[in-house]
Structure 1
């Protein structure tokens, strides 16, 4: 068992109590990390505050050079990082290696983006010079989940550092190992001590101490709606900005004229990526009644061909993150059975043999789901696809918008008018047509409507989230 330290002010920090990190593929403990509390959080925030006085003054070109060097080191170590990510999250190895590549891409992208992120001049009149400039918030807090630790680390830390902020990041206790490894690579890249601090521990202690700290200037959070509400209240009490990327109940909407050769693999991948434990998972399938039977049959066949096993076996589907998460998903399936929904594929836990004591679950397809039922409304966070038929485009829009979430949607049609109407009328931060997801989508603004959160990450919007605009007015 490996003891892994937190990183505060460029130094390794241990605590008396530790948090065990499990391999979801086996249920075995693979590492222990510090159980940080208010004392360690205070050290990290103080280190970030001290570093911020200098980091914000570093020339943009020099900041960009360090971020590019960071990206190069991630590329150098991508196989090791991918292996570690697969081990702690349970995702198949090829997905984890792709995450490492995208992590490097974020730092490379924001290194370039910040060099062309200018203010502007405002021509009010001939006797006044007016200009705007972007300035960092100062010290930013980042709380990230366990499903994409590397990617979400990068999409929140890269723009924050690029804009001149200094950061304290708290990874999920289930999957903190790659965040800690990345923190050490940041120091190797030349990032000043204290500019990036990674503290570990439980959300109720370390996370609450960080987001409630009086010397934080901005909070970025990705996670559940319930915790998001708590963090939003903490930010409101101190009147500081917060970016919230919360849950989703995202639909794939398949019209009668859809190209099934494209739609079927798109729908399947959208729910099986990371075993469905993704806020943007395509967990609802809304399908026109005229093509319902053929589409359900083809997805059922695709699910039957899914290979399942430990993360390092690099098959199609790995385990869920924990026993608690698997039990939660199974409770949704039990409720659906009780309401008369028809499970046409999967629906059971997998144990023994190659699955050992891991947290595996069959990919599950449930037909004729009532859109108002819990399975049609709530985020399951597992490889469970709920199917609902619609009759026409109006009903498709009604069902698509009929939950409290609005993060991502997919539309499958050959008709240009239908595609544009759906983009306009579906309430979601991203709407894809004849595809789903953007393979990381580093350049694409990402965030939600309704209970899926507010604020935007990725792309140029990600830089603006970590800066505040100042207006200068000079009378000539």
Structure 2
């Protein structure tokens, strides 16, 4: 890739401040396929200064100008979408059937929703004798994860552009190539110099420099709870806003009146989404105790029906986890589940039969998982489902809320009165009912150790805005 060893700063592709590089490893083959530049605090400072210079003019751009810019980005993205999908599949093992549909669709529906919201968004409103203005917060640092790479980047850059902010993006150092393509798209679209800047690198170097930089007004971060805590600490000295979307250990409650054949199949697919590496996946499956054995058999069958193989093969439904460290962690947690007495009904430790290379994990299902077990409490981030029985609906709510996280919850059933009551009692930022299609206008974010703030829709806009009250203006 032409720009893999350069950064995009102030509207130009520039050489890094140092000659530090890193290899990218294809998780399906364990082979190096690219080399990228790794940034430093000096690179971040250059990018921040460019963004600061660009902010006065861009913050005053009209809504019509920003809509036109988003439409140009959208058009160029559509021309390069297949290239982006294939790049993501190579970077992190996402099956091509998902990267060409779900991932790209995410980007497209969020772009369309952002444009629609921007056309009608009220950046000023009258309240009595006061006019309240909603103004761009300034220079924002965007730090994105590897598991939903270009999708999470779109989730952040779209509201930043729409509200008139300028930005410095640090994608995951494990999946930077799709972000480089995006920078090429931004350049071709004519995004003003300094509005969008890209610096690759490690979180402990580039992410830390972004978090601590006094001229960055806000950090939007998606990733692990551990990293989110560190970013908040690093940002504290400069009192900047930190919006974080962190880990999850979401419950998926199957009600007794659900169609179990389809409900359990959907639950397994949800847990194994992105090769088991989705932060909002329903990894704790809660079923009525009287139907535990039925659910266990259905879940095991659904897990075993997955097709493992090359992510580039359209027939593949389950690819590898991200890297060797993630593979080792998932293996350790599967073994811990066995050691602590959970009933293994599908999968287990070791690579799947017939696969000699790649970070592939057997699609795994545990039943009889008790609260307090490690696999019940810890985010595994691999294709591992835990099934726990509940006695009644009050018990289901208690079990679902028994977690330090609160990113999402899932409910499947037919009685909507019951579902509405349950959804109000669950301590989670999103509740997904009967496996719905994604709504790009729905706010997304978590309670407790799953983070703070919200992304997507109008609520996503507000995170990038400051509120100014002009009293006596009315």
Q: Counterpart of 1:113?
A: 117
Q: Any residues of structure 2 matched to 1:377-396 within 5 Å, and which? A: 377-396=377-396
Question: Cα deviation per residue 1:155-213 (whole Å; 9 max; x = unaligned)?
Answer: 01100111000010101111111011101101111111211111101111111111111
Q: Any residues of structure 2 matched to 1:67-466 within 5 Å, and which? A: 67-98=70-101, 99-122=103-126, 124=128, 129-314=129-314, 315-350=316-351, 355-435=355-435, 438-439=437-438, 441-466=439-464
The answer as to 2:27 corresponding to 1:27 is no
Q: Distance in 2 between matches of 1:352 and 1:342?
A: 21
Q: Distance in 1 between matches of 2:273 and 2:473?
A: 57
Q: Distance in 1 between matches of 2:44 and 2:127?
A: 46
Q: Classify 1:59/1:349 alpha carbon distance in 2 versus 1 (closer, same or farther; 3 Å).
A: same
Q: Classify 1:459/1:121 alpha carbon distance in 2 versus 1 (closer, same or farther; 3 Å).
A: closer
The answer as to 2:47 corresponding to 1:49 is no
Question: Cα deviation per residue 1:382-422 (whole Å; 9 max; x = unaligned)?
Answer: 00001111111111001000010111111122222320111
Q: Distance in 2 between matches of 1:317 and 1:123?
A: 53
Q: Distance in 2 between matches of 1:373 and 1:305?
A: 27
Q: Distance in 2 between matches of 1:2 and 1:304?
A: 41
TM-fit CA distance, 1:232: 1.1
Whether the 8 Å CA contact 1:103–1:151 is kept in 2: the answer is yes
TM-fit CA distance, 1:140: 0.1
Q: Distance in 2 between matches of 1:359 and 1:405?
A: 27
Whether the 8 Å CA contact 2:125–2:133 is kept in 1: the answer is no
Structure 2 alignment gaps of length 5 or more: none
TM-fit CA distance, 1:351: 6.4
Q: Distance in 2 between matches of 1:237 and 1:195?
A: 25
Q: Classify 1:86/1:40 alpha carbon distance in 2 versus 1 (closer, same or farther; 3 Å).
A: same
Whether the 8 Å CA contact 2:221–2:244 is kept in 1: the answer is yes
Whether the 8 Å CA contact 1:119–1:131 is kept in 2: the answer is no
Whether the 8 Å CA contact 1:163–1:463 is kept in 2: the answer is yes
Question: Cα deviation per residue 1:350-403 (whole Å; 9 max; x = unaligned)?
Answer: 2685x4421001110011111111111110000000111111111100100001
Q: CA RMSD in A?
A: 1.6
Q: Classify 1:475/1:118 alpha carbon distance in 2 versus 1 (closer, same or farther; 3 Å).
A: closer
Question: Cα deviation per residue 1:206-225 (whole Å; 9 max; x = unaligned)?
Answer: 11111111110000000111
Could you tell me the TM-score, scaled by structure 2's length? 0.96
Q: Distance in 2 between matches of 1:364 and 1:96?
A: 23
Q: Distance in 1 between matches of 2:45 and 2:127?
A: 45
TM-fit CA distance, 1:349: 2.9
Q: Distance in 1 between matches of 2:45 and 2:124?
A: 37
Question: Cα deviation per residue 1:304-345 (whole Å; 9 max; x = unaligned)?
Answer: 111001210131000000011010011111111111111110
TM-fit CA distance, 1:114: 1.7
Q: Distance in 2 between matches of 1:121 and 1:210?
A: 33
Q: Classify 1:51/1:148 alpha carbon distance in 2 versus 1 (closer, same or farther; 3 Å).
A: same
Q: Distance in 1 between matches of 2:267 and 2:120?
A: 37
Q: Distance in 2 between matches of 1:117 and 1:235?
A: 29
Q: Give the SS at the match of 1:77.
A: helix
Q: Distance in 1 between matches of 2:145 and 2:295?
A: 33
Q: Classify 1:105/1:256 alpha carbon distance in 2 versus 1 (closer, same or farther; 3 Å).
A: closer
Whether the 8 Å CA contact 1:155–1:457 is kept in 2: the answer is yes
Q: Distance in 2 between matches of 1:299 and 1:351?
A: 18
Aligned residues, how many? Answer: 469
Could you tell me the TM-score, scaled by structure 1's length? 0.95
Structure 1 alignment gaps of length 5 or more: none
Q: Classify 1:2/1:310 alpha carbon distance in 2 versus 1 (closer, same or farther; 3 Å).
A: farther
Q: Give the SS at the match of 1:360.
A: coil
Q: Give the SS at the match of 1:186.
A: helix
Q: Classify 1:442/1:349 alpha carbon distance in 2 versus 1 (closer, same or farther; 3 Å).
A: farther
Q: Give the SS at the match of 2:472.
A: strand
Whether the 8 Å CA contact 1:24–1:88 is kept in 2: the answer is yes
Q: Distance in 2 between matches of 1:110 and 1:41?
A: 28
